[in-house]
Structure 1
């Protein structure tokens, strides 16, 4: 009794929040409950297949004929709600209440009917009535359908979702395993909390019980949306095959078109929804977003008003508007929408969670983290809130580096090792790119580098996953994976950082109003300009895709990022986008690109901006297609790329015979060369390899002859030739660690210390957490007299548990002493003596440092400069 009383107190403070079961319970009682008569069964079939008008008419006729069945009244109300006939539903409800006085299912529906008739106050009274009924007559509500309502009611008033799932919904499943509703509500609860695996598990149990239920199929589509797009599309198609008028599935498709910037197609889907329910608030919310993205303020205002026309303080409307805007990187507008949702209902957790994410992406971290904690405190089943709360604890231990408007947060040890290089590269990128694009950055740009991929994913997406992403930019906030998070084959982190900072520049210039393809295209393009080894280049696979059916028209490029057929297709979308930018700049000039970005910032659509500053978009599509196909055809011109009749395998003799008939086959030449190398026929392998290199001299990807040419030179002891080939490979590869290592070793043997330093820095650009490149840098610096390089290398080695730390500290101390950095030298020599107290050379160096300090103290003190020494420097 006391516990229930506290729930009733929460109801008094309740202002109308809406969980997914508030509306998605629609049809649950109808499809799954036992049928009283054949005619009722037929009417339910009408509802299941989306014939809501006929269903409502059949139910009205049966009620008029004098039936007392609760099922018929529920069926009529559900049909009227689906059709948006809220006033009719209220009339039907008032009649039903006279007959079915104690129906808790009727009360639960009344809550929504009151809301959609603009009476939120009465809806709150209904909740209070349900609370009183549950407290007074709990034994009455033991049917599976009633238990679903009771569990959903307790969720609504803020009880622990995990407890409700375990103690109520699981109990329904155990008591009535043939009732799909128990599995559906448990699955939808998991889905609402972003627990997709658990949602899929319960939906799959439900589909076994009720295989033709469009609601279950839709739920499965949502559960697999982020992990298996093909499976999700299959479930979605099945749901619409059963019920072409199933509004959630139609809205799902509209959302996909919205994401892909196919706004006309999204509008067509919305028209299908409005033909069923002209008042559907989610559809009006999507229309408001499309209007916003099209800079049509009047249409946006009207759409939002229509969304709120019947339920005037529905927090879900602004929550959805904000959610969709955030997906378009309009975080400031998204945050404003979430604040409006919370103005309607301050306890509406979905809006609070989204606002937390928006603020974190805007760099308003204190407020963002605080909101995430509030959500987690209120709902410890919210997966995103839990993840962010845990991550916040991890990040409290990070080191913060500040320079020239940049605030970099990273693991403390990593900050010591390569933090200075992070800042150096950011400052360079700021100078180059801001000047090029005429951009003045916000006061602070935050860069967060995560040593664990899971932490990066949670900070970026709220959930684990996103394994294919190396970095993400939100505007003035960048998140990145550190090399530590990428296993044994990390990517070039310097290239990633340059790429993401370029996003900062272009998103700032356009106020985040740019399509993804253009943003990514510029960043990849600028990578290649900064270093030809960075970015992406034409490959055999890309050539095939360009000349095949995988090329996407420029006017539709954003869709290529949404649901790519494979990871390869996603990477190709990045590459194609970068070539669009290259084509645009080559043909129309950098001023045209800058003007397009300016117009995007003013709200112009991308195709209109291209038409205005380059060419009509249809002509631009055609010219670019010609441009990129010419590049593809020019790749290894003269080679035969036909794949038919190529043997699946074979030894060198088989390939030699086959090549006699196909002498210019690019793949055949490569296979023949590999077969000869496998048989250690080095001299014979030269001929096909030289032919490959001649066909594609600057290609280092799959099937390139350059790595094989280097191997033959190594095997035959032709060091000079091997070095030349490896240097060429190094210039073409952004993350070729084996190439860089081999070059460093060869140059060290030749005592070419400058070249050793170059390759040590190449390795550091891929993985600065390896001791090897720092040792190379230290040795090369000492040998060549590059004192700064040697000091940097030794400093990093000292942080990596070296085999002989005393020697490392002593060498660093010596170099620092020579550089006149006496205080740092004393610190290093003392560390050497701490490791090896009898280290004679270290004692001698310490003595020299002490004597030098005493000599300095005897001299006349220098006059104080205008800028006093900082406390840190003094220490």
Structure 2
């Protein structure tokens, strides 16, 4: 997620506690009766409460001070100002802005000549969007004190909002000059200077200022006032802006240590949570911030962003309305309002946007009729001709929704209007990476790094580009494959062939063809970082992302399977991600997340995973089914891996339902409808002639039908805690099932003696009780007494529906004892009861191999690879089985399938070359022999075979090259010498 532009790193600044050099006569008189030192002590106590977030206590102390000062101290005294300022801060930090304004107006009437008060007035009116009033108070403050820091800060922001960027830049520069001239030491002034100077640093790429603020100004402020948590917050915000998460977290924690009620800090932590996709954590932090201060603008903005991420556009618009009550003219608020309009009403083309920014004398009128967005943009430009922050924020929001063309226009226009901002340059570079335009990304990110060398994501992405520069490229008719040419030479070749092989199928399926070549990038271990870290950095600029493959719609990146501890079926992943490329581009990114995932998973043509079936059995009977509107949010912010998997499961089954209910062309029709329409409800009505409610009613009925057909699955309730289980057992020890479960749990807790005693007692009267039998069997296995363990399992095995754990343990024991005939009925029964579990099929495959039952083995292996597309072992067994049967075409097919899991297996390459030669497929044999020799350079016999095959295929030059290499390695190779005579 994008970084928020910080207008004010400090929202609430504290006041210094220095007493004036001399006191007014009236205050001196008051001192004779009221002891000023007592008032000062109370003010200090109230201030301490305030800085620690103890607002009620602070109010109480301030109320006491107010009574003491009511009659004896003039409203122009410093003590009275500290009182009013403290009370205003409490109002603002707890969201009671109207009360703060009432106090402000009272104070302005009583003490209009106080420059600091005028500056505070400017600040409050500016933050409320009342810029004209803010300007008047800035002017008054600077008339009273030409060096009033806060007044200068508000003046700079007001100039920015008016589009007077050059003047605003000079206004921010004032802080650097003032610090060098005046060398202030009080915390309040230092923090205002830090805020203004940081903005100047952002605009002018002066990285030394960031260092100076974080390492000098903020520590100096804390040295002057250890309670000024705002210093830690400012420092943390700057570090967070640079994506230096560890150090920013330390600073934010330091701020919360002082003030656990510092709402802006919780918002900053929520922003970090969004960046790393911990959306639930972010929501919890935001809820905490808004409970403290329900009018905190930064919290409302981030809340709106989360709603936009979840596709809750109408709700986001309501949150924008709440933010407008705080500041209706904030560019950040208007950007979110504009994003809601665009995502609800449709995104205009960049050509339609250009006339709004045309300042030429022959300015053309916008062609499109007025919309909510265009009206907002027109009004904003009339007030501020250079709304850089608005465009930058809007670009970020639309980029997240994959509206890349609009985002690019927004970033480019921001760079044109406010070239001093480094953020748009950074975002533009990141966007070009998402779009696969790496040449432009390199140029843009280099410029961004020069402007801001401390930006972690920019630095990481430049490193990614450095790695990509060293990669090889395979360019085909429709793809560009970038890969580590040393580690993944073989993988790159096979991926290129596979993508071109499935491309016509994709075009036919979707009735669409991407306009350019799609780039695939395969990341391997490099420069001390893992392949997955490089892949993650490529996608988000940070070193972790959950998946192994991802598509932006324009480019696909994945972790190399050759770098993974557990290989995966890379062909399935490629096809899945290629579907995203087609569907996202075809619908101009309007397709909802759940539907593009449904189409992608369905394209893999694998059996529904067992974990999906288990989730169906657990959730559908309880009616725990996500609506289509909820599904997108689950993909973005799943509370658990189970929720994430169930979102995939529901999406897949929704696609299956549409085909079953509305015909084979239902998916294509809905896809085309998303291309034209804005919402799921409209698309469903357009395609199927029913409402979304009716559609979901039928879909849920389909889910229930599928769930009812799943044999052998049981809804697993959450395990009782050991304490609760023990309590239930002690209350009813005669219940054999409770006693068996309790004994089994005791065994897991290593309480063997007690577990044995209870389980034996249960089996005396209930020998079929599964958990008791499992307890005794496991104890027998500890002493390696397999026969005794098996004996105790016989009774539970004999029941009509044996417990799954009993079947599993008995089967494993029988296989270990090589009692294959006895193991067969156990595994057959288990497979019949649990047909989607691979454990039983794996056991059956072992048994059938030992029993030489080729037909049954082949049927079992075909089921296995359908259930588990990563099962390379079964694929190789199928290759060998079909080869023995003489079905060489099927043998070739399964050998090639095995390479889609482990492309670096020399044995498979060798067998494929032999099969291809028997089929007289010389090009296939040549490729397999070349790949084998890439893995085994010194394999003389295979090099000879390659040379001979090349010669037979008429490739005399290539044959001579291989033969020369063979004879160089083996000068006396007899067959090689004979073959050379033929050349």
Alignment correspondent of 1:623: 698
Alignment correspondent of 2:211: 163
Q: What is the CA-CA distance between 1:567 and the residue it aligns to?
A: 2.7
Alignment correspondent of 1:461: 540
Alignment correspondent of 1:318: 391
Alignment correspondent of 1:149: 195
Q: Secondary structure at the match of 1:479?
A: strand
Q: Secondary structure at the match of 1:407?
A: strand
Does the aligned pair in 2 maintain the 1:187–1:201 contact within 8 Å? yes
Answering whether residue 265 of structure 2 is matched by residue 213 of structure 1, we say no
Alignment correspondent of 1:852: none
Alignment correspondent of 1:855: none
Answering whether residue 865 of structure 2 is matched by residue 730 of structure 1, we say yes
Q: Secondary structure at the match of 1:197?
A: helix
Q: What is the CA-CA distance between 1:67 and the residue it aligns to?
A: 7.3
Please say which structure displays the higher CA radius of gyration.
2
Match of 2:473 among 371, 381, 400: 400
In the alignment, the residues of structure 2 paired with residue 150 and residue 40 of structure 1 have an alpha-carbon distance, to the nearest angstrom, of 21
Alignment correspondent of 1:695: 833
Aligned pair in 2 of structure 1 residues 436, 20: CA closer, same or farther (>3 Å)? closer
Does the aligned pair in 2 maintain the 1:318–1:337 contact within 8 Å? yes
Alignment correspondent of 2:874: 739
Alignment correspondent of 2:935: 800
In the alignment, the residues of structure 2 paired with residue 28 and residue 824 of structure 1 have an alpha-carbon distance, to the nearest angstrom, of 78
Does the aligned pair in 2 maintain the 1:639–1:664 contact within 8 Å? no
Q: What is the CA-CA distance between 1:671 and the residue it aligns to?
A: 5.7
Does the aligned pair in 1 maintain the 2:476–2:496 contact within 8 Å? yes
Alignment correspondent of 1:820: 954
Match of 1:303 among 376, 390, 400: 376
Q: What is the CA-CA distance between 1:585 and the residue it aligns to?
A: 2.4
In the alignment, the residues of structure 2 paired with residue 679 and residue 38 of structure 1 have an alpha-carbon distance, to the nearest angstrom, of 86
Aligned pair in 2 of structure 1 residues 128, 202: CA closer, same or farther (>3 Å)? closer
Aligned pair in 2 of structure 1 residues 691, 401: CA closer, same or farther (>3 Å)? same
In the alignment, the residues of structure 2 paired with residue 661 and residue 148 of structure 1 have an alpha-carbon distance, to the nearest angstrom, of 77
Answering whether residue 321 of structure 2 is matched by residue 271 of structure 1, we say yes
Q: What is the CA-CA distance between 1:617 and the residue it aligns to?
A: 0.3
Q: What is the CA-CA distance between 1:121 and the residue it aligns to?
A: 4.8
In the alignment, the residues of structure 1 paired with residue 434 and residue 279 of structure 2 have an alpha-carbon distance, to the nearest angstrom, of 26
Alignment correspondent of 1:860: none
1:21-61, CA deviations, whole angstroms, 9 ceiling, x for partnerless residues? 33343224477699964443332111111112211221332
In the alignment, the residues of structure 1 paired with residue 866 and residue 873 of structure 2 have an alpha-carbon distance, to the nearest angstrom, of 13
1:477-525, CA deviations, whole angstroms, 9 ceiling, x for partnerless residues? 322332134x121321111111122222222321222111111111112
Alignment correspondent of 1:837: 971
Does the aligned pair in 1 maintain the 2:391–2:414 contact within 8 Å? yes
Q: What is the CA-CA distance between 1:307 and the residue it aligns to?
A: 5.3
Aligned pair in 2 of structure 1 residues 200, 656: CA closer, same or farther (>3 Å)? farther
In the alignment, the residues of structure 2 paired with residue 780 and residue 592 of structure 1 have an alpha-carbon distance, to the nearest angstrom, of 41
Does the aligned pair in 1 maintain the 2:713–2:834 contact within 8 Å? no
Q: What is the CA-CA distance between 1:537 and the residue it aligns to?
A: 8.1
Aligned pair in 2 of structure 1 residues 745, 174: CA closer, same or farther (>3 Å)? farther
Alignment correspondent of 1:553: 627
Q: Secondary structure at the match of 2:450?
A: helix
1:430-477, CA deviations, whole angstroms, 9 ceiling, x for partnerless residues? 2112123221320332222222222322222222211324231x3333
1:745-770, CA deviations, whole angstroms, 9 ceiling, x for partnerless residues? 67788898666544432221113134
Does the aligned pair in 1 maintain the 2:5–2:389 contact within 8 Å? no
Match of 2:710 among 635, 643, 651: 635
In the alignment, the residues of structure 2 paired with residue 76 and residue 543 of structure 1 have an alpha-carbon distance, to the nearest angstrom, of 62
Aligned pair in 2 of structure 1 residues 656, 114: CA closer, same or farther (>3 Å)? farther
In the alignment, the residues of structure 2 paired with residue 280 and residue 379 of structure 1 have an alpha-carbon distance, to the nearest angstrom, of 26
- 1:242-253 superposed matches below 5 A: 242-253=292-303
Alignment correspondent of 1:11: none
- Structure 1 length normalisation: TM-score? 0.86
- Structure 2 length normalisation: TM-score? 0.77
Aligned pair in 2 of structure 1 residues 334, 309: CA closer, same or farther (>3 Å)? same
Does the aligned pair in 2 maintain the 1:369–1:389 contact within 8 Å? yes
Q: Secondary structure at the match of 2:7?
A: helix
In the alignment, the residues of structure 1 paired with residue 213 and residue 813 of structure 2 have an alpha-carbon distance, to the nearest angstrom, of 60
Q: What is the CA-CA distance between 1:146 and the residue it aligns to?
A: 4.6
Alignment correspondent of 2:103: 58
Aligned pair in 2 of structure 1 residues 673, 272: CA closer, same or farther (>3 Å)? farther
> Any stretches of 5+ residues in structure 2 without a counterpart?
16-49, 53-57, 63-78, 349-370, 525-530, 720-736, 746-773, 778-789
Does the aligned pair in 2 maintain the 1:507–1:513 contact within 8 Å? yes
- 1:370-385 superposed matches below 5 A: 370-385=443-458
Q: Secondary structure at the match of 2:111?
A: coil
Q: What is the CA-CA distance between 1:743 and the residue it aligns to?
A: 4.9
In the alignment, the residues of structure 2 paired with residue 265 and residue 679 of structure 1 have an alpha-carbon distance, to the nearest angstrom, of 63
Does the aligned pair in 1 maintain the 2:232–2:254 contact within 8 Å? yes
Match of 1:234 among 278, 284, 307: 284
Match of 2:332 among 257, 261, 282: 282
Aligned pair in 2 of structure 1 residues 775, 553: CA closer, same or farther (>3 Å)? same
Match of 1:598 among 672, 677, 682: 672
Does the aligned pair in 1 maintain the 2:172–2:197 contact within 8 Å? no
Q: What is the CA-CA distance between 1:609 and the residue it aligns to?
A: 0.8
In the alignment, the residues of structure 1 paired with residue 325 and residue 972 of structure 2 have an alpha-carbon distance, to the nearest angstrom, of 89
